[in-house]
Amino acid sequence: MKIKRIQARNNQEALMKVKMELGPDAVIIHQRKIKPKGILGFFKKPIIEVVAAREDITNTVSSKQNISSVGPGLEMDNQPKLSYQTLENELQSIKSLLNKLANQHAVTENTDQVQIQQSLLNTILRENDMDPNVIEVLVNECQINTAELNDNNLDENKARELIRSCIKKRINIQPYDPHQKVLVFVGPTGVGKTTTIAKLAARATLNEGKKVGLISADTYRIAAVEQLRTYSDILNIPLHVIYQPEEISDAIKQLQHLDLIMVDTAGRSHRDENQIIELKRLLDQINGKEIYLLLSCTTRQQDIRDILDKYSFLEDYKVIITKVDEATAFGTLINVPVMTEKAISFMTTGQSVPDDIEVVTIDKIMNLMIKETV
């Protein structure tokens, strides 16, 4: 019996190849769809694989003739006597064995598919400067169903959905609470707090019709207050400047009649313990606040870990990721909410006020990550 494994683009091509290579009497024992090997093959169309067999007619006829020429109880060439039933049983055994081997091969291929997917997932996450511990968490939580893979041929959309589902399990997305009155923005130096506050103030004023007031506690940078004052003049909203943490309560009272109060704090180096202590003093003076920790998408992951460690005194906060437009990798959008288990709200994508700020969505994260790696 001749056995052959044949691959083709479709059923018609597979049947044609079977007839050409094994003849018209060939029997297809097993057929399935598979994905091409390798990372790039993950996004290609599936191909057809068949296992076909053809009985060796010459040997079968010769065997039957030899059997028929031997009388009952006799042997030919010292070989045991055979019967038609014995041959049939052997053929059935061979077919059964082939089916078992084909099924085992299918299970192996499905296992390979899972490994390919995990490899692709690792590649996309790693090339986006993902934290290794976060990658491990996401990959382990992606429950890949081999039966589903066998029934549903994976394409690019399926791959995207797999990665999307992994990320969605671990990321909590929340814009600012419309019922909160006082929003406080904190973070290291150079992340763009003042510009981000201007964008959110313009968004609330122009798009949501809210009455907004600004408080600047950033008197360390000479241009910080003037920058925020420029935006407050353009938007025609009040601005109060404080120089000591104890002054914040009075400033908030003066703006209490407004819908929203946004507080700009001075950028604090996570390496300067005294500056962190001073920030704590300021925050302790504010009741009923919603805190936003701003981090730059261009910051190295090791520095991100150090910053989060120094800001761990914050009991509750939401995350804003800035400078996404300047980044070449976007792992920070996932690393931070996974490592902190805090909600992520906005990401900034440029300097334009108020346009270049967006509510984070899973689809936006996916588009940023996939287009850079696939």
Query: How high is the pLDDT of residue 323?
Result: 94
Q: At how many degrees (to 10) do helices 132-141 and 84-127 cross? A: 140
In the 8-state DSSP scheme, what is residue 56? -
Confidence label for 103 from pLDDT (cuts 50, 70 and 90): low
Nearest partner of 180 among 239, 284, 277, 252, judged by Cα: 252
Task: Give the SS3 label for residue 124.
Answer: helix
How far is Cα 180 from Cα 203, in angstroms, rounded to an integer? 16
Tokens representing residue 253 in the block: 């009272």
**What is the residue range of 243's domain?**
182-373
Higher pLDDT pick, 259 / 57 = 259
% of residues, the chain, pLDDT over 90: 23
- β-partners of residue 162 are none
Examine the domain organization and report whether 216 and 163 are in the same domain: no
Mean per-residue pLDDT of the chain: 76
Query: How high is the pLDDT of residue 67?
Result: 45
Q: Does residue 115 belong to any structural domain of this protein?
A: yes
In the 8-state DSSP scheme, what is residue 80? P
Examine the domain organization and report whether 267 and 364 are in the same domain: yes
Q: Indicate the number of domains in the chain.
A: 2
What Cα–Cα distance (Å) separates residue 144 from each residue in 33, 113, 363? 18, 10, 21
Confidence label for 126 from pLDDT (cuts 50, 70 and 90): low
pTM beyond 0.95, yes or no? no
How far is Cα 140 from Cα 135, in angstroms, rounded to an integer? 8
Examine the domain organization and report whether 228 and 151 are in the same domain: no
In the 8-state DSSP scheme, what is residue 43? G
* Secondary element (H or E) of residue 195: helix 193-202
- pLDDT, mean of residues 151-156: 47
Tokens representing residue 82 in the block: 């055979």
Which of 128, 149, 170 is where one domain is finished? 170
Provide CB contacts within 8 A for 163, sequence distance 6+. 121, 124, 366, 369, 370
Segment 318-338, tens digit of pLDDT: 999 999 999 888 888 888 988
Examine the domain organization and report whether 98 and 195 are in the same domain: no
Tokens representing residue 211 in the block: 């009455």
Examine the domain organization and report whether 165 and 216 are in the same domain: no
What phi and psi, each to the nearest 5 degrees, are found at residue 67?
-65, -45
Q: Within its chain, how far is the Cα of 88 from the centroid?
A: 54
Which of 149, 170, 191 is where one domain is finished? 170
Which of 170, 193, 228 is where one domain is finished? 170
CATH number at residue 250: 3.40.50.300
How far is Cα 215 from Cα 225, in angstroms, rounded to an integer? 9
Examine the domain organization and report whether 160 and 198 are in the same domain: no
How far is Cα 329 from Cα 227, in angstroms, rounded to an integer? 29
Segment 42-81, tens digit of pLDDT: 456 678 888 888 876 555 555 445 544 444 444 444 545 5
